[in-house]
Amino acid sequence: MRILILGGTGEASALARSLAGRPDLSVVLSLAGRTAAPKAEPVSTRVGGFGGSDGLARYLGAEGIDRLVDATHPFAATISANAARAAALTEVPLLAIRRPAWCRSTGDLWNEVDTMEQAVAALGPKSRRVFLTIGRQEAGAFAAAPQHRYLARTVEPLGDLLPVPHLTALEARGPFDADSEIALMRANGIEIVVSKNSGGAATYGKIAAARDLAIPVVMVRRPEKPDVPNVPDAEGARRWLGLCDHAAPSTLRAV
């Protein structure tokens, strides 16, 4: 079985790792190419766009792909729409891994918005110390609010994407736990956090930290993704692929 995984996420890497080395499978992990030095994976990897849904459909046919797994990030809406269309065109079975969104808990001070422009406006006119954790691609939107002091954390260097007078750029790759996020926010006098509702455990630390410190969070809601068969994690994808080992539970059931 030849499987194409559309990646760029922890779930895609976890699935690729769990399928690596099986003689009955041929797995290709596809990355957009946004990260200069992506983590090495034990399956064959291709990098760069396909050229829209038609390009992806051509790739599926040319490479003899039997199963397509869309394991892209919740905010990567274009590639997911392309995957749905390409799968329909080629009749290649498609599964999406859709990581559950974070839910507001007691004590969370969230202001939920739909766009980055609304997130910028939600910071208000008064200068504040902002922890910007939305990645680098859309950071430029915050140049419209140069009165704030930004601590911007990205995986890749931010470069000159956010031209504002008060900017501290921090390069780091998660996971980040709540204690280190509390320390970071305290050290930088953070007054408000801007986050995408990415979901997952790896970056939830900042949300828990903000709740602990009673700091408000501007939470950007997810874009719409196509309505296709989906599972919440890599384990669900293994099951869909028919590859689950039916091992006995490792713990005894309480009586």
Work out whether 34 is an interface residue with ligand NAP (CB under 6 A).
Answer: yes
Nearest one of 45, 46, 39 to 173, comparing CA atoms: 39
CB-based burial of residue 174 (10 Å sphere; 0-12 exposed, 13-18 middle, 19+ buried)? middle
Q: Give the DSSP letter string of 190-251.
A: --EEEEE---SSTTTHHHHHHHHHT--EEEEPPPP-----EESSHHHHHHHTT----PPPSS
Q: Which is nearer to ligand NAP, 4 or 182 (CB)?
A: 4
Query: If binding means CB under 6 A, how many residues of this protein chain bind ligand NAP?
Result: 25
Show the binding pattern over residues 109-138: x = contacts ligand NAP (CB under 6 A), - = does not: --------------------------x-x-
**Nearest distance, CB of residue 64 and ligand NAP, angstroms:** 18
Q: Which is nearer to ligand NAP, 38 or 146 (CB)?
A: 38
Neighbour count for residue 223 (Cβ, 10 Å): 15
Work out whether 52 is an interface residue with ligand NAP (CB under 6 A).
Answer: yes
Candidate list 16, 57, 68, 82; residue touching ligand NAP; CB under 6 A:
82
Say how far apart CA 82 and CA 92 lie, in whole Å.
Answer: 13
Name the segment binding ligand NAP (CB under 6 A); options: 43-51, 174-182, 212-220, 246-254: 43-51
Contact at 8 Å (CB) between 120 and 145? Answer: yes
Q: Which is nearer to ligand NAP, 29 or 215 (CB)?
A: 29
DSSP 253: P
Residues that bind ligand NAP (CB under 6 A): 6-9, 30-32, 34, 49-52, 55-56, 72-73, 75-79, 82, 135, 137, 196
